[in-house]
Structure formats: structure tokens, C-alpha cells
Amino acid sequence: MIRRFRDARFKVLSESSAVVFFICTGIGAIWFVLPPLAESLVGNLTYVGILLAIPGLMSLLVDIPLGDLCDKADKKKILFWGLILLGLTWIYFGWIETTAQLLLFLIVFGILHTVAYIVTASYVMEASPTNLKSTYLGTYTSFMHVGFAVGALIAGYMAMDAIISNARVIGLLFALMCLIGALTSLTLKGGSIESFREGLSDVVRKDGIFRKELSDYKSLGFTGFAVIALTLLFTVFDGVVWTLEPLLYQQFNLSTIQGGVILAAFIIPLIVFEAPAGYLADKYGKRMILALGLIIAGVATIRFSSSENFIGLTTYAFIATLGLSLAWPATEGILADHATDKKKGELVGVWRSSADLGYVIGPLTGGILAQYTSITTVFSIAGVVLVAASLLALSLGKIR
């Protein structure tokens, strides 16, 4: 399915996947703590949603210029120093005691954590062979979600029903993962085109920070719109899951370990099935696999919303994400098929902006709806929307 290890392209895929695995392990652990920490400080699900939307909002502001900068300056240096700075935020995270302190952490965290995603995705997109784009990107994304699952499970085990009091040690795990990820990034090839200062100057002066990147993405037409819309949907759903699941399991008197298992069930299919799903999309057609995945995800999410026990919640969480594991690599492959060699960083930046917008909308709308209805109602609505979105996938008539 993937070329032998000695292939330079596969080497880039392996190195980028290793970096993103370590970083996402740390982020998965931190994100397991953030919802209960925020709720303990504000005591209102609407405010929890607002707070947890902040990292996505900050990432949204830097995604596009950062993607453009990756095309102009040394990606390796950007990645290394971005991860070092991200790890240093632990020094502050472990001592958060007020809403204002949490707000400051979320702002800095949102700006820095997106570096790992954009730079590594840019490396993989550049290395992907023409006929294996969904396969490569699916493999890369699988490692990303391995990290999220491992991080959530470790945090659930470390917390042992005392999440807030163990925030400092979980934050230390986050810092360690950032350090390992930074050191792993040193194996990647730099390939500097300009110095960081020159590249940043070009992004600001020549490209107008957002103007050129949005113009280039607009040239993709309806396909570009569909990729953004579907990516937005996926990350809105993901944002809802990471915001509300750490609160939902408590309603059924489940332990933190069981809560971590349910959250991991929302992630594990993305580990196991994304690479095979990418291969299926490349072989049998991205549009068909995308639509099938959305239908499976939607139906399972509706069933998840009506479950009240550990087995049911875990099973339907797994099946819902099985559907998304079919849809994600197909969508990424469609974007990669339309990206030109010299503008992959730009397109990744715009694409990641749509993803991060979902991480603003998901926690925000999920928190508000949950406050005035219920958490299970939010998941029920999400399931209906996923099924309806399969019609958008089927409208991509010219996409194989």
C-alpha cells in the first residue's frame, strides 16, 4: 500500500507522523483536563463552550499566514521552535486558579499548537505520490489520532477521579511530549527558501497576510468550497465531542477511566481505518467513500445520543468515528489532488483555517445548546447533520 521504507517520500511521511503523534499525545492529555477545569471555574456550559472555542479562534487567525510562511521560510525551524514554546506553556498551565489565567493559557495554546499541524501536513502533502495522496494523508492523520487517544487514556488513568488536582502532572506529560516532538522534528529536511525574517516580510508585505492565500484557494472553485464545508463539519463534530464527552460520562456516574475509554473510542477508528480508507478512496473513488462514511457516522451518532450505559456509548462512539475515518482521508485527498506544488503550504493554511473554525463553532454552539437542552440532544442534532451532509459529497460529480 505504501512504498518501502527506503523511499524518500515514505521517510518524510514517517518522520512527520512521528512528530504529530508525540504532540497530539500531549494535546489529548491536556484536552481531557480542560473541560472539567473550565466548568470548575465558571460553572456554566455556555461559558465552558466559549472558553474552549478560544484555542480554535486563535489558530484561525494564524493558520493562513503560517501556511504561507511554510512555503517561504525553513519549515523545520518553524516547527522546532514552535513546539519548544508550546511545551513551555506547561509552566503556566499547572498553576491556573482563575478564569483569567485559563483564558490567557487558551490564547497562547491556540496560537502555538497549530504549528505542529500545518507544518507536518505541508511536509506530507509535498511528499505524497500522485496516485497515493489519500493513502499518505490518511496514514499521517491516523498517527495524529493515535496521539489523541493515547493522551486521553493516559490522562484518564493519571487523574483517577481527581482531574483538577492532577492537572499539574498531566501538564508535565504535555511538556514532555512537546520536547520529544521537537527533537524528532530535527530529522526532517529544512529546505529553506528564505530566512524566517524575509519569509515573514513577504507574507505581510507582498501577500497581504490573507489576501493572496484566499485568492489562490478561491481558484479551486466549488471543489474548494466543498472541502472547506466538509472539513468544517468534521471539526465542529470533533469540537463537540472533546467539549461535551468529558462532561457527559459523569451524568451516568461512570469513572474517569471509563470516560477516557469512551473518548478514545471516538478516536481509535481514525487510527486503525484511515490509512486503509485512504487506499479505498484512491482505488474506488473519493466521492463514494466520502458519502458512505458520512451516513455511517450520522446514524451511529444518533444512536450514541440515546445510549445511557458504558457499552452502548463506547460502541456507538466507535462506529460513528469509523464513518468519519472513511470521510476524512477522502476529503484530504480531494484537496491534495487540486494543490499545486508551490502553493501547498498556502492551501494547507486556508484548509486548516476551516478546520480551526470548526473548533470555534463546535465548543461554542455545543455548549450553548447543551445548556438550554441537553448534551444528548446536541449529539442527536450532530448525527442528523452528518447524514444530510452526504448529499454535499454526492454533489461532487467530477471527483472520482
Read off the pLDDT band of 360 (50, 70, 90): confident
Q: Which residues of 4-42 are buried (b: 16+ CB within 10 A; e: fewer)?
A: eeeeebbbbbbbbbbbbbbbbbbbbbbbbbbbbbbbebe
What confidence score (pLDDT) does residue 274 get? 78
Dihedral sign for Cα atoms in the order 270, 273, 279, 280:
negative
Task: Output the pLDDT for position 338.
Answer: 61
- Per-residue pLDDT reduced to its tens digit, 71-110: 667 788 888 988 999 999 888 887 888 999 999 999 999 9
**Which residue type sits at 132?**
L
Kindly indicate the confidence band of residue 23, based on its pLDDT and cuts at 50, 70 and 90.
Answer: very high
Cα separation, 300 vs 285, in Å, equals 23
**Better-predicted residue by pLDDT, 212 or 28:** 28
Residue 296: the pLDDT is 95
Mean pLDDT of 116-120: 84
Question: What confidence category does residue 5 fall into, taking pLDDT thresholds of 50, 70 and 90?
Answer: very low
Instruction: Report phi then psi at 98, rounded to 5.
Output: -130, 165
More confident residue, 392 or 331: 331
Average pLDDT (275-285) is 81
Report the chain's mean pLDDT, rounded to a whole number: 81
CA–CA separation, 264 and 31 (whole Å): 12
DSSP string, 306-334: T--SHHHHHHHHHHHHHHHHHHHHHHHHH
CB atoms within 10 A of CB 377: 13
Burial of 110-137, coded b for 16+ CB within 10 Å and e otherwise, reads bbbbbbbbbbbbbbbbbbbeeebbbbbb
The predicted model scores a pTM of 0.71
Residue 51: predicted pLDDT: 92
Q: Span 253-270, mean pLDDT?
A: 85
Residue 343 is classified by DSSP as G
pLDDT of residue 303: 96
Which candidate, 366, 374, 267, 253, places its Cα nearest to that of 309?
A: 253
Residue ranges in 338-374 assigned as alpha helix (H): 344-372
Residues 6 or more apart in contact with residue 130 via CB below 8 angstroms: none
CA gap 381, 379 in Å, rounded? 5
* Lowest-pLDDT choice from 12-21, 134-143, 235-244, 260-269: 134-143
Nearest to 36 by CA among 308, 274, 244: 244
Q: Compute φ and ψ for 163, nearest 5 degrees.
A: -65, -50
The pLDDT assigned to 149 comes to: 83
Question: Residue 43: left (phi > 0), alpha (psi -120 to 50), or beta?
Answer: left
More confident of the two residues 86 and 8: 86
Higher pLDDT, 125 or 31: 31
Are 266 and 317 in contact by the 8 Å Cβ rule? The answer is yes
Question: Is the pLDDT at 178 greater than 50, yes or no?
Answer: yes
Q: In the prediction, which pLDDT does 133 show?
A: 72
Task: Give the model's confidence band at 2: pLDDT under 50 very low, under 70 low, under 90 confident, else very high.
Answer: very low
- Is 4's pLDDT higher than 50? no
pLDDT-derived band at 117 (thresholds 50, 70, 90) equals: confident
In order of 178, 220, 368, the CA distances from 137 in angstroms are 22, 19, 34
| Rounded mean pLDDT, 191-217 | 52
C-alpha distances out from residue 174 to 215, 232, 388, Å: 37, 26, 37
With bands split at pLDDT 50, 70 and 90, how would you rate the model's confidence at 197? Answer: low
Closest CA to 45 of 54, 34, 57, 35: 35
pLDDT given for residue 142 in this prediction: 81
Encode pLDDT of 338-359 as tens digits: 655 545 555 666 776 777 788 8
Joined grid coordinates for residue 104: 490567557
What percentage of the chain carries pLDDT values higher than 70?
82
pLDDT at 3: 46
| CA–CA distance, 336 with 317 (Å, rounded to integer) | 29
pLDDT at 66 over 80: no
**Three-class DSSP category at 31:** helix
Ordered DSSP codes for 214-229 = HHHHHTTTHHHHHHHH
How far apart CA 165 and CA 328 sit, in angstroms, is 36
Whether 314 and 260 have beta carbons less than 8 Å apart is answered as no
pLDDT digits (tens, 9 = 90+) for 226-249: 778 888 899 899 889 988 888 888
For 294-323, what is each residue's pLDDT tens digit?
999 999 999 999 998 999 999 999 999 999
pLDDT at 276 over 90: no
